[in-house]
Structures are given as structure tokens and as C-alpha cells.
């Protein structure tokens, strides 16, 4: 909270906002950034039921109409205050302006009184959701640019405050997208057992199988072949979760394992040992282990894998530089096997958003085990940094 006060009282250091936006908007952003964000419990989302009545949708829209500008303003403040001059990078300014634009549109929307207001508001939400689809890759370009400069000019490699800022920024983004996505999904024809984005009978076995198939396809495309992956666990088991989040995490972990195993066994005479995905259902937690014999990570490299600047793959960011603005690429960037260095840190945020976690345990020169712990959705409150 401290830095926001600082921002509000030093508008010239929240430097560039006032250069690009009219004063009334800047003032409104500043005062909204000082308001507290309100967390939502997952239970609250589940309580809506699969066929929400009109009154519930209006209440949900009214809540979002009030809450989203506050959350967006907090993100603007974070970007404006990002350290080492990151805030002035053109890509960062572009992302910031998407947030200001959405903020403005939400504030300009008049009070939601009836079903037709609510319908119109939902259209605005769809529009905003779409506008922000490329935030991760575009922001990544700003960070990559900064990384190059700092390495060359000051030999700075490790930027803890940047990682902290990005962790908090991306975690909040997951929350914002969950709230919007949930509201919008309640308007769409509901799939069986779904409450908005939440599948009350989400099967980790089915989601893992999908994610594995997708990851192996990318590996085949890039490398020409893909190591085998086997799944262990009760295929009939299901629990309430957001399948798209689970898919995202398992997809990233399996991509990492495929790459490590492929590279390590590329020149070997025998077939590479299969990657093992194990699903364990506990009382508290569902745990998914992705286990490979891809040579592991040295202990000194362990902390780096959670940073947003670290990858041992060539960066594909250059390729999307020109396409990012208007492309219809998937929400989290184009699909490549590796290269952003974002797979692990973002997956850990997805796990943490619902009270879970992600850990990597490695044996150097042997292999890596990733442990994905997922909370059975209960009364956990959204984490709000």
C-alpha cells in the first residue's frame, strides 16, 4: 500500500500517466488505486449454481462494476512504479494503457439496474477480456528488453524486485480474468457439471491426457519426435476445479519434461525413458507429479527457474514482436516448446491462486520431479497481494 500513497502524492513520478491521459482520468486512477481490493471466496463462485437467476447476475455485475476499476487501477500503479526504468519501456506503456482504457470504460458505464444493463455490461466485460489477452507476452518483451540493457550496461543479472512485482502483477491478473471469465461464462450455455469456468467434476486424468497430447504435438512439430508420457492414477476420479487452469499447468510441466528428455536422449542408442505423470487424490490435496529423466537442474540453478528472466532456450519473443498487437493468438502467447522462461513462475501462480502450490525437485544429471499441489476448492479466499 505504501508505494501507492507515494504514487498518489508524487504524480510526476507516476511519470508517464499524465503525459498520455487527461487529468480527470489520472486523478480517478490514483484515487481508485488507493481503495482496497475485495477478495472473493471460491465457495462464493460455486454457490452461484449452474443456472444463476437474473437477480444473481445483476448482483455479480454490480460487484464487478465496483471492484474491477479498483483492481485495474492497482495494476496501473504497479506498472507505473516498476523499478529499473521498466515502467518507461514502450511495451510496458502499451500494457499500462490497455489497463487505463479498460478502467475508463468501466467507470463510464452507468449504474446497473436491470437485466438489459447487465447484458450490456457483460458485453463490455467480453471486450475487456479480449483486449488484455496478450498482456503476458507483451510485458515479457518489455522485461526482456530491460534484461538485455541491464546485463550489458551494469552487469546486473538478478532483479528480485522485478520478479516480486511480476509475481504480484500476474497473480492479480489471474484473479481479474477469473472474475470476468466466470461472469461471462455464466451467460453462455452451461456445459454439464459446470458452474461458469469451474467444472464440479473436473477429472485430472482427462485434463492431463489432453495437456500431454497438446505438449507432445508441439514437441513433435519442433523436434520431429516426442518422448512417451504415461499417466498413473484412478481415471474416474474428479473434483471441482477450473480445467483451463489445470491444463495450463500440466501443459507447461510436460513441455519442460519433454524438452529435457528429448535433449538428453537425442543421441542415445535406446528409446528415451517415458515421462511419468502421477495423480494422487488426498483428503486435502490433489497432487500431480510430473517425473522425468531429463538430466535435472543443478542445485545452483534451482532458484533461477522461478524467475521471469531465466530460460535455457532461445527466446521466441522476437518472432511475435510485430504480431502481438492485433493477433488472435491464445491468451498466454503463442505455443512453443520453451523460451519465455515464464512457464514455471506462471504455473505456480495458477496453483497458488486456488490455494495450491508447485515445487520442483531435481537430481542433477538424472531428472526432475515437479509436484503440483491443488487444493480441493473450499472456503479459500482469493490471494490479493
- Binding region for ligand ADP (CB under 6 A): 252, 256-257, 260, 292, 294, 296-297, 305, 310-313, 338-344, 368
Taking phi over 0 as left and psi of -120 to 50 as alpha, with beta for the rest, 226 belongs to beta
Residues in the chain: 385
Active-site pick, 255, 293, 332, 382: 255
**Range list of β-strands (E), the chain:** 194-195, 198-202, 229-232, 239-241, 275-281, 285-292, 357-363, 367-375
Task: Say whether residue 347 binds Mg ion (CB under 5 A).
Answer: no
Which CB, 198 or 309, lies closer to ligand ADP? 309
- Whether 152 is catalytic: no
DSSP 167-198: HHHHHHHHHHHHHHHHHHHTTSPPPTTEETTE
Cα separation, 5 vs 291, whole angstroms: 46
Active-site pick, 78, 252, 293, 332: 252
Which CB, 29 or 338, lies closer to Mg ion? 338
Which of ligand ADP, Mg ion, none sits in contact with 384, Cβ below 5 to 8 A by type? Answer: none
**Distance of closest approach, residue 263 Cβ to Mg ion, in angstroms:** 13
Which of 82, 172, 182, 256 is the binder for Mg ion (CB under 5 A)? 256
**Distance of closest approach, residue 260 Cβ to ligand ADP, in angstroms:** 3
Which CB, 312 or 327, lies closer to ligand ADP? 312
Which of ligand ADP, Mg ion, none sits in contact with 292, Cβ below 5 to 8 A by type? Answer: ligand ADP
- Whether 382 is catalytic: no
Which of 4, 136, 215, 338 is the binder for Mg ion (CB under 5 A)? 338
Question: 155 CB contacts (<8 Å, ≥6 apart)?
Answer: none
Cα separation, 142 vs 75, whole angstroms: 16
Which of 343, 345, 355, 356 is the binder for Mg ion (CB under 5 A)? 343
- Whether 256 is catalytic: yes
CB contact at 8 A, 308 and 341: yes
Active-site pick, 256, 289, 293, 375: 256
CB contact at 8 A, 184 and 129: yes
Catalytic residue set: 248, 252, 255-256
Amino acid at each position: 500500500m505504501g508505494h501507492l500513497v507515494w504514487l498518489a502524492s508524487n504524480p510526476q513520478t507516476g511519470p508517464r500517466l499524465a503525459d498520455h491521459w487527461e487529468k480527470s482520468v489520472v486523478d480517478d486512477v490514483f484515487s481508485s488505486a488507493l481503495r482496497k481490493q475485495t477478495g472473493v471466496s471460491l465457495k462464493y463462485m460455486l454457490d452461484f449454481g449452474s443456472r444463476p437467476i437474473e437477480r444473481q447476475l445483476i448482483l455479480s455485475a454490480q460487484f464487478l462494476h465496483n471492484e474491477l476499476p479498483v483492481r485495474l487501477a492497482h495494476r496501473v500503479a504497479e506498472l507505473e512504479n516498476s523499478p529499473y526504468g521498466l515502467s518507461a519501456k514502450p511495451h510496458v506503456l502499451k500494457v499500462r494503457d490497455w489497463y487505463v482504457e479498460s478502467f475508463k470504460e468501466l467507470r463510464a458505464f452507468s449504474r446497473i439496474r436491470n437485466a438489459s444493463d447487465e447484458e450490456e455490461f457483460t458485453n463490455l466485460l467480453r471486450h475487456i477480456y479480449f483486449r488484455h489477452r496478450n498482456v503476458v507476452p507483451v510485458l515479457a518483451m518489455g522485461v526482456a528488453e530491460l534484461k538485455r540493457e541491464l546485463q550489458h550496461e551494469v552487469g546486473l543479472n538478478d532483479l528480485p524486485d522485478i520478479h516480486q512485482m511480476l509475481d504480484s502483477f500476474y497473480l492479480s491478473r489471474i484473479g481479474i480474468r477469473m472474475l470476468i471469465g466466470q461472469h461471462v461464462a455464466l451467460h453462455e450455455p452451461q456445459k454439464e457439471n459446470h458452474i461458469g469456468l469451474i467444472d464440479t467434476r473436473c477429472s485430472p486424468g482427462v485434463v492431463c491426457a489432453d495437456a500431454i497430447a497438446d505438449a507432445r504435438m508441439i514437441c513433435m512439430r519442433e523436434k520431429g519426435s516426442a518422448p512417451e508420457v504415461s499417466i498413473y492414477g484412478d481415471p474416474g476420479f474428479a473434483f471441482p476445479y477450473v480445467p483451463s487452469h489445470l491444463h495450463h499447468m500440466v501443459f507447461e510441466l510436460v513441455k519442460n519434461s519433454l524438452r529435457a528428455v528429448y535433449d538428453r536422449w537425442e543421441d542415445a542408442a535406446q528409446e528415451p525413458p517415458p515421462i511419468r505423470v502421477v495423480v494422487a487424490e488426498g483428503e486435502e490435496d490433489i497432487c500431480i507429479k510430473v517425473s522425468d529423466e531429463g538430466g535435472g537442474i543443478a542445485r545452483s540453478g534451482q532458484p533461477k527457474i522461478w524467475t521471469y528472466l531465466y530460460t535455457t532456450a532461445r527466446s521466441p519473443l522476437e518472432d511475435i514482436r510485430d504480431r502481438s498487437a492485433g493477433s488472435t493468438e491464445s491468451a498466454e502467447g503463442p505455443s512453443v516448446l520453451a523460451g519465455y522462461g515464464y512457464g514455471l513462475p506462471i504455473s505456480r501462480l495458477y496453483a497458488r491462486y486456488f490455494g495450491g502450490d508447485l515445487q520442483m525437485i531435481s537430481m542433477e544429471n538424472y531428472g526432475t520431479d515437479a509436484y503440483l499441489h491443488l487444493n480441493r476448492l473450499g472456503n479459500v479466499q482469493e490471494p490479493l497481494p
